[in-house]
Amino acid sequence: MEIKLIIENEEFSGRLYDNPTGRKIAEMLPLIIRMSRWGDEYYGSIGARFPLADDATDEMKVGELAYWPSGSAFCIFFGPTPVSHGNEPRMASEGNPFGMLKGDVSPLKKMGGSISVRVEKI
């Protein structure tokens, strides 16, 4: 499923993976999420609890979207976090990858410690 994220004055397009978490997120759209920054990751609670998926991992890709069960959080990865071992994005503990942003995500690096994100179907 194609999606867009509207963050401050920026719009990012992406897609949800065809996996259980991606399908659950799709059912919840549109979402407005207040997010906090942790290194080069934004995360915010979506008020839904999903189980840890079979493909759960703590290693993410730049632009990847994931659900963090420990915080019931929607996460956006755009670079290293405090637990990274280099330049790779890394989650604090395992989570469920469910989507990927397309194109340049570097504008996220210029945003502050707290943002509001609207996630919509295209």
Domain residues for the domain of 23 are 2-121
| 3-state secondary structure at position 21 | helix
CATH number at residue 100: 2.40.100.20
| Tens of pLDDT, residues 55-75 | 999 999 999 999 999 999 999
- Model pTM? 0.97
SS3 66: strand
Both structure tokens of 55: 């493909």
Can you give the pLDDT at residue 38?
Answer: 98
Domain count, the chain: 1
For 97, the token pair is 């990858």
Q: Confidence class of residue 36 from pLDDT cuts 50, 70 and 90?
A: very high
Q: Which amino acid is at 83?
A: V
pLDDT score, position 118:
98
For 16, 70, 80, 98, the CA distances from 52, given in Å and listed in that order, are 17, 9, 22, 12
CA distance 42 to 78: 8
pLDDT at 115 (0 to 100): 98
